């Protein structure tokens, strides 16, 4: 059953990627159409502003890294992000409902200008160690990853957030010992 679920999820991802490539090759950019709309039309509980420069992304990452604890959603306009963005929004809302006194923050950051290398993230403490533990492979591939930070240090990167539940995200946060009031 687990193997069948994994195969099904892999096939869904491959079909989604193929559709994105085909739409892009015929000049149809669905994701940028969503990206250009005000985000309140797509997500109700997330503050999102498209970033136009590497400096803008660096500033947004610096703000997130300055937080005591936060989770960053890695948005790129060239990939389908709707389901991952909605998952991030639900995670944020559920976390805040369950832990209303928590100081943990959630940052939805547009990394489109820095997708060649993701330097603002890769330069944070903890990133290189996590990559080394991942056989040196990149931790980000444009899947709408979630990144957990504590005092500017990367603790964990969820590379396939579209395939795990909000309950799993909450549990991961708890295992990382994050969120005031998370026991």
Q: Assess whether pLDDT exceeds 70 at residue 6.
A: no
- The pLDDT tens digits for 40-52 are 334 444 556 678 8
The tokens of 134 are what? 């991942």
Q: Assess whether pLDDT exceeds 60 at residue 32.
A: no
**Residue 183, domain member (yes or no):** no
Residue 58: count of CB within 10 angstroms of its CB: 16
Q: Assess whether pLDDT exceeds 60 at residue 18.
A: no
Q: Assess whether pLDDT exceeds 80 at residue 96.
A: yes
**Residue 73, domain member (yes or no):** yes
**Residue 98, domain member (yes or no):** yes
Q: What is the pLDDT of residue 40?
A: 38
Phi/psi for 60 (5° steps) reads -65, -40
Domain count of the chain? 1
Rounded-to-integer distance, Cα 183 and Cα 181, Å: 6
In sequence order, the β-bridge partners of residue 105 are 70
Q: Which residue has the higher pLDDT, 86 or 162?
A: 86
Rounded-to-integer distance, Cα 144 and Cα 73, Å: 7
* CATH code where residue 158 lies: 3.40.30.10
């Amino acid at each position: 059953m687990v193997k069948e679920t994994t195969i099904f999820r892999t096939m869904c991802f491959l079909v989604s990627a193929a559709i994105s490539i085909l739409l892009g090759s015929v000049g149809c950019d669905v994701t940028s159409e969503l990206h250009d709309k005000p985000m309140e039309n797509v997500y109700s509980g997330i503050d999102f502003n498209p970033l136009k420069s590497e400096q803008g992304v660096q500033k947004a990452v610096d703000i997130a890294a300055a937080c005591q604890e936060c989770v960053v959603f890695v948005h790129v306009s060239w990939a389908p992000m709707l389901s991952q963005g909605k998952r991030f929004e639900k995670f944020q809302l559920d976390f805040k409902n369950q832990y209303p006194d928590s100081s943990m923050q959630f940052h939805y950051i547009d990394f489109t200008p820095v997708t060649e290398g993701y330097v603002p993230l890769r330069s944070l403490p903890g990133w290189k160690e996590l990559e080394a533990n991942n056989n040196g492979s990149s931790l980000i591939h444009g899947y709408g990853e979630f990144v957990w930070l504590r005092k500017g240090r990367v603790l964990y990167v969820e590379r396939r957030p579209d395939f795990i539940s909000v309950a799993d995200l909450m549990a991961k946060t708890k295992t990382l010992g994050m969120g005031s009031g998370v026991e």
